[in-house]
Amino acid sequence: MSMTTEVGQAPFVATDKFGPFRLKRLAVLIVFALLALAPGELGALTRALMTDAYVQVSVFVAATLLLFYGAERVFRFDIGDALRNARGWQVPLAALLGATPGCGGAVVVVAAYSSGNVGFGAVVATLTATMGDAAFLLIATRPDAAAVVLPLSFAVGIAAGWIVDRVNTVEFRTATAGRKELAPFIGKTRPQDYAFLVLAAPGLVVGSAQLAQIEFGSIFGVPVVWWALAGTFLGLFIWATSPLQAMTNAKDAPVTRMAEETSFIAVWVIGAYLAYDYLDAFAGLDLQAAFNAILPVLPLIAIVIGFVPGCGPQVLVTTLYINGVIPFAALLGNAISNDGDALFPAIALNPKAAVVATLYSAVPALIVAYGFFWLAPGFLN
């Protein structure tokens, strides 16, 4: 599936730079490094959580993205042409692209709408079906829940798209929308991209073994924690020096795209892991007890959080579910309402369409989330 010239994001702002680094990202890297090097319980907990984030999520994200982008490059499939020629299958195909983990598929559909290749129902379908980068976390840690959330979001996206195509009469397209090349082109595959791949390979072995309840203490005589920390901080370096916001240019090599996008996702996953366990270990905050006190409104809160652009809030919601703090209904509502990182480039390409489609997605999110909340309160909790 080729995400060609219409797919991307806002240009890199040169003022947020110090040498090869972006200042805000460099600050995050330094904070994470200090936490990992801290003495005592803080450092030990941080290193353990970073190891978990790497072998439980990051390596699986890397493998999925490499497979996805590699297949895209090999088969040279032009999704824009496929969507334009799909006719009655536009909405299901758009929902399928949205249900693909990550944000790339959803952005392709929004770009295709802006350039006149699909109808508005396809935009609603893809933004309703997508869970963004949070899908990677859910697949890696709760595949049983992912096996329900992703197909259900896909089905809801199709239904929502078809209904919108029937009732919506507003045209959001403009003559110039979707014509910009927004994602910076990196070019030649860099040494850090290959190094990221080399470190991720043994990490994937460890992560796969853990799924089979097999524990590895070391690989090639090197403790797993050091493999994981090396991969983690290489990813943080790639992210801190990147000219990108989240998405990569379709012309870049699959290994480069994998390293860049995995590193971006990993930052949010690490942040979510640390935030939850720090609150539990050092603040003594019982999130589960606090959230139980407002249980009936949790699906609504999760749906509202889904309106926030970016993957960070959505990854946090998924983390709360994984740790048993919020019910499955809240996760499902968030999955249907959120657009992850796709909302940033979607707004850049066609802000009216992106905002209206996101608001439309709230309706099925409320129906499905509260349907599960009242009719199947203990489902997958």
Lowest-confidence segment of 227-236, 253-262, 341-350, 353-362 by average pLDDT:
341-350
Q: What percent of the chain has pLDDT over 70?
A: 83
Q: How far apart are CA 125 and CA 117, in angstroms?
A: 15
Lowest-confidence segment of 43-57, 112-126, 281-295 by average pLDDT:
281-295
Whether the per-residue pLDDT at 104 is higher than 70: the answer is no
- Asked if residue 62 is part of any domain, the answer here is yes
Greater model confidence, 250 or 364:
364
- Asked if residue 47 is part of any domain, the answer here is yes
Greater model confidence, 91 or 85:
91
- Asked if residue 303 is part of any domain, the answer here is yes
Number of domains in the chain: 1
Q: How far apart are CA 94 and CA 105, in angstroms?
A: 8
187: alpha, beta or left? (left if phi > 0; alpha if psi -120 to 50): left
Whether the per-residue pLDDT at 126 is higher than 70: the answer is yes
For 311, phi then psi, to 5°, come to: -95, -20
| pLDDT tens column, 151-160 | 999 999 999 9
Is the Cα dihedral 15, 19, 22, 24 positive or negative?
negative
Lowest-confidence segment of 15-29, 131-145, 167-181, 194-208 by average pLDDT:
167-181
Q: Is 222 helix (H, G, I), strand (E, B) or coil?
A: strand
- Asked if residue 116 is part of any domain, the answer here is yes
pLDDT at position 53: 87
Greater model confidence, 313 or 201:
201
The token pair at 59 is 């390596």
The residue ranges of DSSP E strands in 203-323, in sequence order, are 218-219, 222-223
pLDDT at position 10: 38
Q: How far apart are CA 138 and CA 136, in angstroms?
A: 6
| pLDDT tens column, 30-84 | 999 999 999 999 999 999 999 988 988 788 888 877 887 887 788 776 666 677 7
- Asked if residue 66 is part of any domain, the answer here is yes
Triad 263, 266, 268: Cα angle to 5°: 120
DSSP track, 80-148: HHHHHH-GGGHHHHHHHHHHSSBSHHHHHHHHHHHTTSS-HHHHHHHHHH--BTHHHHHHHH-HHHHHH
| pLDDT tens column, 209-244 | 876 677 888 888 889 899 999 999 999 999 999 888
Whether the per-residue pLDDT at 18 is higher than 70: the answer is no
- Asked if residue 341 is part of any domain, the answer here is yes
- Asked if residue 13 is part of any domain, the answer here is no
Greater model confidence, 377 or 276:
377
Provide the mean pLDDT of the chain. Answer: 82
The token pair at 83 is 């969507």
For 278, the domain range is 23-375
- Asked if residue 63 is part of any domain, the answer here is yes
